[in-house]
Structure 1
Amino acid sequence: MTLTIYGLECKSTKKARQWLKKHEIPFVDRNIIKEPLTVNELQEILRRTVDGTDGIIATRSKIYKELNLDVEELSLQELLEILHEQPRLLKSPIIVDEKRLLIGYHEDEIRQFLPRSTRKSQWMNWRLNNFNLAEG
């Protein structure tokens, strides 16, 4: 299973990289400024999001404000082409593998990329520790 981080050189992307390295999860790192996402890659990411374009567009970014975009007025194809040309419009990082997608760095949500056996082991340890605390 190949895990890929699409990101900018920002704090959230750095945290995600550090977390994955700490947990020994191999990943491919792709700087979206140097190598922007293609329209097809953007379509695939959008297909997997729950929130559609709202989930991937950084509406608080400087470039979003400068471009004064009205996403509702654009066709999907126009929007995808703008996102390809202006990768700073994307939230960062975008972390994907064959089954999962995470937009941004969220310490609880990134755990989904841990192997199931590791998650189960950590959960059992947590449960055991909390059970012992409750008795002690």
Structure 2
Amino acid sequence: MYQVYGIPNCNTVKKALDWLSQHNIPFTFHNFKKEGIEATTLKNWCQQAGGWQNLLNKQGTTWRKLDANTQQSITTETKAIQLMQEMVSIIKRPVIVKGTTVVAIGFNEALYNTVFK
């Protein structure tokens, strides 16, 4: 069983959930907005993703709305994790996990066809 972490109204999350459902991939959904996320989980994900920079979504609206001083202050994993806990919508999504292993971040159909087959 896969665990999908995200925000239900996010278009990328919707695409991923639709794809998983269409391919009969069993999953449960963890809503960041309602359920939050533990710092230890984020630290684990950062390590698996090759660094916090690959988990922090700098392309999204949440990041762009931050003032320049806040953006420039995010220089370490600790600071990035703190920001991701405070503003969960700044985490790239969805994050799909099996057990404690991250199998995918974001939606990429080609990757999904490889990972979930």
TM-score range (shorter-chain normalised) is 0.7 to 0.9
* 1:85 and 2:86 aligned: yes
Contact 2:20 2:26 in 1 (8 A): yes
Counterparts of 1:36 and 1:83, CA distance in 2:
10
Counterparts of 2:81 and 2:102, CA distance in 1:
21
* 1:104 and 2:103 aligned: no
Higher Cα Rg, which structure: 1
Counterparts of 2:102 and 2:84, CA distance in 1:
21
Contact 2:2 2:96 in 1 (8 A): yes
Q: Which residue of 2 aligns with 1:21?
A: 21
Contact 1:58 1:90 in 2 (8 A): yes
Counterparts of 1:44 and 1:4, CA distance in 2:
15
Structure 1 unaligned segments of length 5 or more: list them. 120-136
Moved more, 26-35 or 61-70: 61-70
Contact 1:48 1:101 in 2 (8 A): no
* 1:66 and 2:65 aligned: yes
Q: Which residue of 2 aligns with 1:56?
A: 55
Counterparts of 1:67 and 1:46, CA distance in 2:
21
Contact 1:5 1:94 in 2 (8 A): yes
Deviation at 1:112, TM superposition (A): 3.5
Backbone CA RMSD of aligned residues:
1.6
Calculate the TM-score normalised by the size of structure 2. 0.84
Deviation at 1:46, TM superposition (A): 0.9
Calculate the TM-score normalised by the size of structure 1. 0.73
Counterparts of 2:82 and 2:114, CA distance in 1:
30
**More strand per residue: 1 or 2?**
2
Counterparts of 1:112 and 1:97, CA distance in 2:
15
- Residues 1:78 and 1:15: Cα distance change in structure 2 (over 3 Å): same
Alignment coverage as a number of residue pairs: 111
Contact 2:56 2:80 in 1 (8 A): no
